[in-house]
Structures are given as C-alpha cells and as structure tokens.
Homo-oligomer: A and B are copies of this chain.
C-alpha cells in the first residue's frame, strides 16, 4: 500500500468519474474503469459491494465536490458576479475544446441516464446541483443582491450554463457557453 499516491479505492472512483463524464454511464464498462484504474475486478467488488451503482454514487460525489471547489475558487478570485461568470465560462470552454468536446458537466450525462433508475444516485446528484446553486447565490448576495433574488439568479445561471454545455457538445463549439455567460454577466451587472 501507499506505493501509489492514491489508494485502489480512490483510483477506481477517479477513473469512474472521468469515464462517466466522458462517455456516460451505460457506455462505460466496468472493465474500462478497471483498466484505467489498474485494478482487478475483485477489488472493485470489495470496495463497492453494490457494483456499478455504488461506484457511480461515489464518482458523482467526487465530481460534485470538485466542481463545487472550482466554482468557489472562481467566485473568490473575482471582484463581482459578472467577472465570476466570465471566468467560469472561460474555464468550461477550455475544458470543452481541449477534450474535443467530450468533457461538459461532470454529472449531466449520469443524471439523464440514471436519475430515474437509481434513488441513491438521484439524491447525490440533487445535492450536487443544490450545492452549486448555493455557491453561485453566495457570490450574488455578496454583491448586494437580496437573498431571494440571489437564489433566483443563481438557479437561472446554473441552468443556463448546464444547457449551454449540452448545446456546445451538439455543435462542437464553445460559443453557446461564452454567449450565455455574456448575457448572464450583463444581467448581473444590471442587478448589483
């Protein structure tokens, strides 16, 4: 043990999170995850007795934390909400372009494929979206916008960015993300 920087469990979750984001749940075989994590099948079922579903829950939780950390970083690095949105959109556009438009939202594909099937996964994903919305709302509130209005605008922004990431993948262009971010940024500037 400790021969690797990450334990087998962590490598499994990390590989699963990346593959589920890129290819989705159903198209990602457990053998793909095992190969990427350099782990045998026995280890997977030792750490995740529930199999693929349990692995997906853990992967979604990891993706949720990482994305939240990114949002919080961009929020604290920015002087206002308009700047935050611009920074965040640029980052997402970079991810899209560098990955050949494979990397969008870390959990959107998982949500659309599995939220209606797995209760555990649905609640993890629901919490993820709420935490992201709350982080955006906190930045808006810090700009002097009312609590209620901050929540409303944060939901609009989150949904618009999520939708723009879907369009971006269909069009293979980051333009929808950048354009939507511009519109949102102008809206925020008018509110503050």
Contact = CB atoms under 8 A, between A and B. Distances in A.
Interface stretch (A4-12, A41-49, A139-147, A156-164): A156-164
Copies of this chain per assembly: 2
A14 interface: no
Contacts of A113: 23-24, 26-27, 109, 113
Q: Which of A25, A153, A162, A167 has the most CB of B within 10 A?
A: A167
A69 interface: no
Contact of A170 (B126, B156, B171): B126
A32 B172 CA distance: 30
Interface pairs A-B: 4 shortest CB-CB: A162-B163, A159-B163, A26-B26, A163-B163
